């Protein structure tokens, strides 16, 4: 007897290991604007939930870092935090959960690879966190984050120095001027902007980084140069 493949939504509900009292919250969290009817409002898509989920994720991660690394200074905690909440980490977790298959997206978005886009996967992952928070409270959301992010937090062995500070010290060691940072782009809505920053080090090709704030974009740009130049190996 051939078993019928599990519905993507049912598979996701199992992977989330959380029993929603209000499934409408999950439905909205999984809905891209391209799947809405012209008469629908933005409240019917994931965007407002993503805004909330970003903050819930940040608090949950900060709390775990404070618990697990009692001797870490603010710089180390910030470095670990940035790695845990960056879009690539959220997108990896979204893929593991099967969020891409369960998304509600329009045909055009699907045809352009929407189900595999890192930014969209990360955003909807945060929207799902918000849905759990609204449905079951912070403890439920925190437990969800702990289960999926904590193993990564405890096994990560990347560089712990602040990227901008490290790049400046590296440039100084080579008798180069202080790196210069310039905002070269801004996308997204006002409540959730995405900045693109270029960092210039004399004699090197510029490095670019994106982030939800200028500060984070600058850090990511500095990190891009450090990795490209082999200063950071991981």
What are the domain boundaries of the chain?
8-155, 163-228
Q: Rounded to two decimals, what is the model's pTM?
A: 0.72
Under 8 Å between Cβ of 81 and 68: no
pLDDT(48) > 90: yes
Domain pair 8-155 / 163-228, same fold: no
Query: In CATH terms, is domain 163-228 a member of 1.10.10.10?
Result: no
Task: Give the fold, CATH level 3, of 8-155.
Answer: Ribonuclease iii, N-terminal Endonuclease Domain; Chain A (1.10.1520)
Tell me the percentage of the chain whose pLDDT exceeds 70: 94
pLDDT(234) > 60: no
- Residues forming the active site: 54, 126
pLDDT at 106: 86
Tell me what the pLDDT averaged over the chain comes to: 89
CA-to-CA distance for 90 and 80, rounded, in angstroms?
A: 14
**Number of neighbouring beta carbons within 10 Å of residue 16:** 20
pLDDT at 6: 67
pLDDT(192) > 80: no
């Amino acid at each position: 007897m051939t078993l019928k493949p599990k519905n993507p939504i049912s598979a996701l509900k199992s992977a989330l290991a959380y029993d929603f009292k209000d499934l409408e919250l999950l439905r909205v969290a999984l809905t891209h604007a391209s799947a809405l009817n012209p008469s629908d409002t933005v409240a019917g898509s994931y965007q407002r939930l993503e805004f909330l989920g970003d903050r819930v994720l940040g608090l949950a991660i900060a709390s775990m870092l404070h618990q697990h690394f009692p001797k870490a200074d603010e710089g180390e905690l910030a470095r670990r935090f940035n790695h845990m909440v960056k879009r690539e980490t959220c997108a990896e977790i979204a893929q593991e959960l099967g969020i891409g298959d369960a998304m509600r997206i329009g045909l055009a978005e699907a045809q352009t690879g929407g189900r595999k886009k890192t930014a969209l996967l990360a955003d909807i992952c945060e929207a799902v966190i918000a849905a759990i928070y609204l449905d079951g409270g912070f403890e439920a959301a925190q437990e969800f984050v702990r289960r999926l992010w904590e193993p990564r937090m405890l096994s990560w062995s990347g560089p712990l120095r602040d990227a901008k500070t490290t790049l400046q010290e590296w440039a100084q060691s080579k008798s180069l001027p202080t790196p210069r940072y310039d905002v070269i782009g801004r996308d997204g809505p006002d409540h959730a902007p995405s900045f693109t920053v270029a960092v210039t080090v004399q004699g090197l090709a510029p490095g670019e980084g994106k982030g939800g704030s200028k500060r984070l974009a600058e850090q990511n740009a500095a990190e891009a140069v450090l990795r490209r130049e082999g200063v950071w190996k991981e």
